Structure 1
Amino acid sequence: MYAVILDYVRPLSEIDAALPDHVAWLDEQYDAGILVASGRREPRVGGIILAADVPRDVLDAAIAGDPFAVRGLATHAVHEFHPSKWSSDIGGPAPRADVLI
């Protein structure tokens, strides 16, 4: 699983102009089973995306198509992690007992 931290590098007016395209890209990634959750950070300086346990090259290719990346509006820092616990509301496979925080 991955946490992708987005940092805006352009003014919010440019971010807002690209937002409809970014949301369409997000929808495509959810439909493809790549993304699990996403949202804005507060204060509004970027966003956070949780991605599924997909091959890293698949995630990198998806991120490369994000309009925020294509237009140079945000950077994307990818952090792989191995969840050891989560809420049953999220679903998914059982946590691995051998991976602890």
Structure 2
Amino acid sequence: MFIVSLSYIAPLSDIDALLEQHVAWLRQGYASGLLLASGRKTPRTGGVILARGERAELEALLARDPFAVAGLARYEITEFHASMSAPELDCLRNI
């Protein structure tokens, strides 16, 4: 499993201009089965994505994010294997 940390490197007005396209891109990622969860950071300096699959496949997906294409965000990918979880998240231990 992967944690992707997006950090905005452009003004929020630039981010907001592409937000609808970014959400459409996220939907494609969920439909492909790669994305597990996503959301904004608080304060609004970027976002976080939980993903699964192969790293190369994830990197290819991230490169197509409208924020990446426009040079508005930086992405940090951390791979991890959940060895413990709350009962309602046990399914994450097999990813």
TM-score w.r.t. length of structure 2: 0.92
Does residue 1:22 correspond to 2:35, yes or no? no
Q: Which SS does the other structure have where 1:3 is aligned?
A: strand
- In 1, are the aligned partners of 2:37 and 2:51 still within 8 Å (CA)? yes
Residue in 2 that maps onto 1:82: 81
- In 1, are the aligned partners of 2:3 and 2:50 still within 8 Å (CA)? yes
With over 3 angstroms needed to count, the CA separation of the structure-2 counterparts of 1:74 and 1:94, relative to structure 1, is closer
Residue in 2 that maps onto 1:43: 43
Superposition misfits of 4+ residues, deviation over 6 angstroms: none
Residue identity (%): 48
Q: Identify, as 1 or 2, the structure richer in helix.
A: 2
Structure 2 spans left out of the alignment, 5+ residues: none
Deviation, structure 1 residue 85: 1.8
Deviation, structure 1 residue 93: 6.2
Count of residues paired in the alignment: 95
Larger Rg: 1
Once residues 75 and 93 of structure 1 are traced to their aligned partners in structure 2, the CA distance between those partners, rounded to angstroms, is 26
